[in-house]
Chain A
Amino acid sequence: MRLLVSDLTHRYDDLTVLDGIDLTLAEGEILAVIGPSGCGKSTLLGIAGGIVAPTSGSIRVEGEVPDGCLNPITFIFQDFALLPWRNVEDNIALVLEHHPLSTAERRERIDDGLRRMGLSEFRKALPKQLSGGMRQRVGIARALAVRPAMLLLDEPLSALDAQTRELLMDDFLDLWRREKTTALYVTHNLDEALRLADRVCVLSRRPGRIRELVTIDEPRERRQEPSAQAHLAEVRDRLWHLMKAEAQMADREIARA
C-alpha cells in the first residue's frame, strides 16, 4: 500500500503544526519521521490514520491490501492502549469482534499473533501483570491480527527501557522481513530510525516542514555488521546535525513561551 501526501497543512486554532508537507511512501517502505517535540509528528500520523482531519491538503492511499486484511491502516501506540480489564487474548480479540469471522478464524488470528510475539503462555494475563515490553508485544500482536497493509507507529518504543527497546527492534525487523508492510514510524530516537527505516524524514520545529529526506543505503539486514558502521555513522552525523539546530531552537521557543 502506498501513501501519498501533498501540500498538507494542519492548524489547531491559530497554531500551525504542519505546513506544506509533501511526502510519498512507497509500497513496503519504512519511513521514519523525526523532529523536535511539538513539531507535529504525531499529528501527521493521526492524519495518515484518518483520526485527525487535515485543515488543507490531500492525503491518499493506493494499492492492494493483503488477503484477510480487516483494517488496512493500523496504529501501534506509544502507551500501548491496552484495555486494563481485558486479558492478553481478549485485548487482541477486541479488534476482531466486529468482523464477521468464524470462531476458528478468530482463534487462528489470535493464536498466530500470540505465537509470533512469544506471548502464548501469557494469554490469560491482565496488562497490569505484564512488563512494558510485553505490553507493547500485545499491542503489536493486536495490530497483526487484522493483517494490516500499513502500520503507523507512534513512538512505539519510547516508553520502554534500553534493553527492551533492542529486543523489540529485532521483533520489528523480523516482522518486516516476513511481510512487506508499509510503515510510517514516528520517533525521536535516531538509533531506532537508523536500525529500522529505509528513509528518514526530518521535520523542522513548529510549524513542521520537511527539512530533509535522507535515504539510508545500507540494507536493513546488514546494518549490525562492522562494515556498515562507517556509512551509518555518516548518516547519523548528518541527521543529528539537522536535528540539533531545530531542537535547540524549539527548546528556546518553549522557554520563551
Chain B
Amino acid sequence: MSTLSADPYRTSLRTVADWGLVAIAVLTLAALALPVGALGGAPVGWFGGMMGGTLAPLFLIGVVLAVVAGRSAPKRVWGAWVELGGVALAWLLPLHLLNEGVDLSAGWGLWLFLVAATLLLWRVMGVLAGVPGWTRSVVVPGLFGLGLLVGWEVLVRGFQVPAILLPPPSRIASALAAHAPVLWDDFRQTVLTSVLRGYVMGCGAGFLVAILADRLPFLARGLLPLGNLASAIPVVGIAPIMVMWFGFDWQSKAAVIVVMTFFPMMINTLAGLGNSERIQLDLMRSYGAGYGRTLVKLRLPNALPFLFNGLKINSTLALIGAIVAEFFGTPVVGMGFRISTEVARMNLDIVWATIAVAALTGSGLYGGLALLERATTAWHPSMRRR
C-alpha cells in the first residue's frame, strides 16, 4: 500500500519550483559574466567599473530586492506591483549607462539582463491581467505600450541606429514639442477641417441613402454591387481627380473621404436595419405602429451596433483619405503636405512627429466612438462583460 504524498495535487515536476523565476535567475547569472558595454573601446563589466563610476551593481541589487520582496508579499498582486518596480529599475539601467556615455552595442551582459527583466515583466502582466477593473482594462495595456516605447528607445540608442532610419521616441517627442505650432496648424487643416467635414458628409449620406434603399429594394440591389466596386478604388487614383474637380482646399479632401466612407456606412446601416427579429416586427405591427415609428423605436436602435461598426471603420479611413489626398495638392498646410515635403527635405523628425499626431488622432477618434458605443449599446450581447 502506498501512502499519499504530502501534496496530492503535485502531479509533475512543473509544480516543484517556480521554473519561470529559475529561468530568470539563470539568465541574470549568465549576464553577470558578460560586459555591460564599452567605454572608449574597452569593455566594462558589471562590477569592474565600481571605481570607474557605473552604478550597474546598485540597479542589480535593487531588482533582486524587488523580486525577493515581491515573492514574500502576502498577496500575489501586491508582489506583482513590487516586481513591476524591479522591472522599471532594470530598464532604467541602460538609460543611465547611455547618459554615462557607455557604448551598449557590445554589452551582451546588459542585453541578457534586459531579456530577463522582460520575462519578469511578462510574469507581472500575467498577474495584473487577472485583476478586474481599471488594472486590467487600462493599466495592463498602458504598461504594454510603455514597455514597447522604452524597448524602442533603448534598442535604437543602444545599437546606435541612425535617426534617419528610425529615431528614438524621445527624439520624436522633442520634435513634437519643438514644432508644436506647425503641427497644430496641420492638425487644424487636415483633421478639424477636411476630415471632420468629409466624415460627416460621407457617413451622413451613407446613412440616409441606406434608409432610402431599405424602403426601395431596387436601390439596394443596384447600390450594393457598386459598394464592392467602390471599396476597390485606390485612394491614390481618386485623389488627384478630386483635386482637379474641387480644388486645393478642404473640399477635394472631403470629396475623397466621402467616396471612401459612403459605402461602408451604407452597407453597415443596411445590415443593421435588417437586424430586427421577426417577432419584434410583429410586435410593432400588432400595436399598429407604421413604418416611421417602427424605424425610430425598433429598427434604428437594433441597428446601433452596426452603425457604430461603420462609424469606427470610417474614422480611420477618413484620416488616411485626407492625408493621402493632400499629397496631390493642398494649400501649404496639412499633415499630408507636411509629410510629403519634409520627407523630400530629409527633415524626418517632423515627419515622425506628424505620423505620431496622425496615429494619436486616429486612435483617439476610434476610442471615442468605442466609448460612445459602449454607453449606448450596453444592452447588446456583444457588449457583455468578459
Residues of A within 8 A of B (CB): 46, 49-51, 71, 73-75, 77-79, 81, 83-85, 94-95, 97-98, 126, 128, 146
Contact = CB atoms under 8 A, between A and B. Distances in A.
Contact of A81 (B279, B289, B377, B379): B279
Interface stretch (B211-219, B280-288, B344-352): B280-288
Contacts of A74: 286-287
A250 B58 CA distance: 84
B379 A128 contact: yes
B380 A77 contact: no
A71 B379 contact: no
B288 A85 contact: no
A43 B283 CA distance: 15
Contact of B285 (A51, A83, A128, A146): A51
Nearest to B297: A94
Interface string B261-295: 00000000000000001011011011111000100
Contacts, number: 47
A126 B379 CA distance: 8
A83 B280 contact: yes
Nearest to B304: A85
B27 interface: no
Chain B interface residue number, banded: 10 to 19
Nearest to B298: A83
B247 interface: no
B169 interface: no
B379 A75 contact: no
Interface in B290-330: 293, 297-298, 301
Contacts of A83: 280, 297-298, 301
Contacts of A50: 286
Contacts of A78: 279
A75 B380 contact: no
A75 B286 CA distance: 7
B279 A77 contact: yes
Contact of A79 (B279, B287, B297, B379): B279
Interface string B357-386: 000000000000000000001011100000
A128 B285 CA distance: 23
Given A46-B282, A75-B286, A98-B289, 19 more contacts: A51-B282, A51-B286, A71-B286, A77-B283, A78-B279, A79-B279, A81-B279, A81-B282, A83-B297, A83-B298, A83-B301, A84-B379, A85-B301, A85-B377, A85-B379, A94-B287, A95-B287, A128-B379, A146-B287
A75 B377 contact: no
A71 B282 contact: no
Contacts of B298: 83
Contacts of B293: 98
A252 B58 CA distance: 84
A108 to B, nearest CB: 19
Contacts of A73: 286
Contacts of A97: 297
28 contacts: A46-B282, A49-B286, A51-B282, A51-B285, A71-B286, A74-B286, A74-B287, A75-B282, A75-B283, A75-B286, A77-B279, A78-B279, A79-B279, A81-B277, A81-B280, A81-B282, A81-B283, A83-B298, A83-B301, A84-B379, A85-B301, A85-B379, A94-B297, A95-B287, A97-B297, A98-B289, A126-B379, A146-B287
